[in-house]
């Protein structure tokens, strides 16, 4: 059996925290997964209690050998390397309360693995870049004062038979849909590929490359694969399903998505964390360009050169 839990949160309490496309992302992902045979539980603008109930129901539904799929679209953050998915009813989260007032992504992965699925797929399209927010980082955007909070998500590597996909690289922010874009940059592209008869690893690799293109290089999805077998969510017979054909005909083209220029300078580079950890291969898997290009930014090199020159003795 195929089991899925899909969550999309737009309606956060404060006006500057609200998003535009996450509920549409969840609705469209719900429709796509149902068409290809998933039993889907969907939650929209879900407060913590509803999220906990839905998660428990999802976990209880998973039987040994099942394919389990978890999708979240909304706001998320990391604290001490743990990723938290934020429900819609909290405005006063701090470093102590977040453990009890948000969904712990690593804990969810462990709980799903305990149910012994044949494959678990986790898709996190969160850490949204809100173009209407004046704050320079997402943690300030939510009022997180502790330095232990960081923007974006921390790298994750799941247990065996697990695929984890982020809409953007660790420590970075992703582009939500707005205006004429019904879906986020990542979900729009994923919806196109996930209903096609190709290996699931190829689905996420192609999605990553296309997102990189449609965002002008701003957004680089992250992919961690701990699953070596071929896996097809869609077979050739299912492609002829009229519902699937109608779904594809109804899809609009993705992008281009324009990144707010004011955000580019505040997103921290995560190359040092990736180089020094077990996640280096996973973080670059399927990516169009190596992240090292951000380290070679000319402004950084010039700044280093200027510092070195200032330390040299004056020869005049």
Q: Residue 256 has what DSSP assignment?
A: P
**253 vs 7, higher pLDDT:** 7
Please give the pLDDT value at position 189: 95
Residue range 42-89, pLDDT digits in tens: 999 999 999 999 999 999 999 999 999 999 999 888 888 899 999 998
Please give the pLDDT value at position 147: 63
Q: Is the pLDDT of residue 289 over 50?
A: no
Q: Is the pLDDT of residue 277 over 50?
A: no
Q: What angle do CA 158, 223, 44 make, to 5 degrees?
A: 80
Contacts of 183 (CB under 8 A, 6+ apart): 21, 24, 25, 28, 177, 191, 254
For the full predicted model, state whether its pTM sits above 0.85: no
Please give the pLDDT value at position 311: 54
Whether the CB-CB separation of 174 and 185 falls below 8 Å is answered with yes
Q: Residue 232 has what DSSP assignment?
A: B
Tokens of 86: 């934020």
**173 vs 265, higher pLDDT:** 173
CA 156, CA 160: separation in Å to the nearest integer? 13
Tokens of 35: 């068409």
Whether the CB-CB separation of 178 and 202 falls below 8 Å is answered with no
Tokens of 81: 């390397």
Q: 11: buried, middle or exposed (CB in 10 Å: 19+, 13-18, 0-12)? A: middle
Tokens of 16: 């500057």
Interhelix angle 105-114/48-61, nearest 10 degrees:
20
CA 66, CA 73: separation in Å to the nearest integer? 23
Residue range 158-212, pLDDT digits in tens: 899 999 999 988 767 776 655 578 899 899 999 999 999 999 999 999 999 999 9
Buried b / exposed e across 30-40, counting CB within 10 Å, b at 16+? bbbbbbbebeb
Query: How far is residue 178 from each of residues 32, 118, 130, measured CA to CA in Å?
Result: 21, 36, 10
| Alpha helices for the chain (secondary structure H) | 22-35, 48-61, 98-101, 105-114, 138-141, 185-194, 200-214, 242-250, 261-264, 271-275, 280-284, 292-295, 298-311
Q: Is the pLDDT of residue 248 over 80?
A: yes
Check if CATH label 3.40.50.1460 holds for domain 2-311: yes
Tokens of 310: 């200032």
Domain residue limits, the chain: 2-311
């Amino acid at each position: 059996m195929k089991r899925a839990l899909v969550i999309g949160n737009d309606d956060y309490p404060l006006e500057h925290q609200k998003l535009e496309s996450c509920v549409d992302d969840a609705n469209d992902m719900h429709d796509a997964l149902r068409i290809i045979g998933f039993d889907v539980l969907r939650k929209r603008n879900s407060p913590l209690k509803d999220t906990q109930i839905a998660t428990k129901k999802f976990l209880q539904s998973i039987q040994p050998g099942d394919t389990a799929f978890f999708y979240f679209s909304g706001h998320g953050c990391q604290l001490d390397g743990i990723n938290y998915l934020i429900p819609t009813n909290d405005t006063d989260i701090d470093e102590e309360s977040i453990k009890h007032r948000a969904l712990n992504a690593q804990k969810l992965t462990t709980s799903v693995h305990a149910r012994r699925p044949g494959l678990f797929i986790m898709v996190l399209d969160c850490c949204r870049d809100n173009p209407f927010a004046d704050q320079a980082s997402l943690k300030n955007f939510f009022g997180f004062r502790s330095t232990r909070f960081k923007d974006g998500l921390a790298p994750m590597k799941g247990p065996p038979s697990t695929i984890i996909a982020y809409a953007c690289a660790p420590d970075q922010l992703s582009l939500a849909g707005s205006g004429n874009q019904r879906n986020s940059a990542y979900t729009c592209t994923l919806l196109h590929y996930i209903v096609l008869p190709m290996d699931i690893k190829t689905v996420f690799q192609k999605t990553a490359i296309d997102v990189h293109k449609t965002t002008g290089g701003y957004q680089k999805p992250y992919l961690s694969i701990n699953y070596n077998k071929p896996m097809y969510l869609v077979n050739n017979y299912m492609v002829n399903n009229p519902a699937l054909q109608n779904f594809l005909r109804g899809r609009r083209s993705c992008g281009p998505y324009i990144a707010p220029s004011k955000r580019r300078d505040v997103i921290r580079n995560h190359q040092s964390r990736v180089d020094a950890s077990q996640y280096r291969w996973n973080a670059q898997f399927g990516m169009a360009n190596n992240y090292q290009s951000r380290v070679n930014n000319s402004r950084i090199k010039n700044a280093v050169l200027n510092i070195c020159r200032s330390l040299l003795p004056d020869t005049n």
